[in-house]
Amino acid sequence: MFEIFAIYDSAGNYFHPPAFVMNKGIAMREFIDCCNNKEHFLNKHPGDYALFHFGSFDDKNGLFDLLPSPVSLGKAQEFIKRVVEPDPALVRDDVN
């Protein structure tokens, strides 16, 4: 059994081709990793992209079990990890 996911591009108004992934956790991890990769298109325009779940595909009988409508799992911008630089006034140089 595989879950079906696709990335929606709101600027282009289309879905990228779907991906078949073992489960939602793996799909989310891969999406988050791409969102945080400075070289990936998801990181360059994170407000334009969202991950959607479409349902599942049974690899034993070849049947699809689609959701009534695609379900958004969040926009790329929601998953970008912000690096917070320390305040120089709070950093001490005299710590051993």
- Supply the Cα-derived Rg of the chain in whole angstroms: 18
**Predicted pLDDT of residue 87:** 65
Q: Which of 52, 40, 53 is nearest to 80 (CA)?
A: 40
Pull the structure tokens for residue 58.
């049974």
What pTM did the predictor assign? 0.81
The helix/strand count (H/E) of the chain reads as 2, 5
37-87 pLDDT per residue, tens: 999 999 999 999 999 999 999 999 999 999 999 999 999 999 888 655 666
CA distance 82 to 87: 15
For residue 10, the SS3 value is: coil
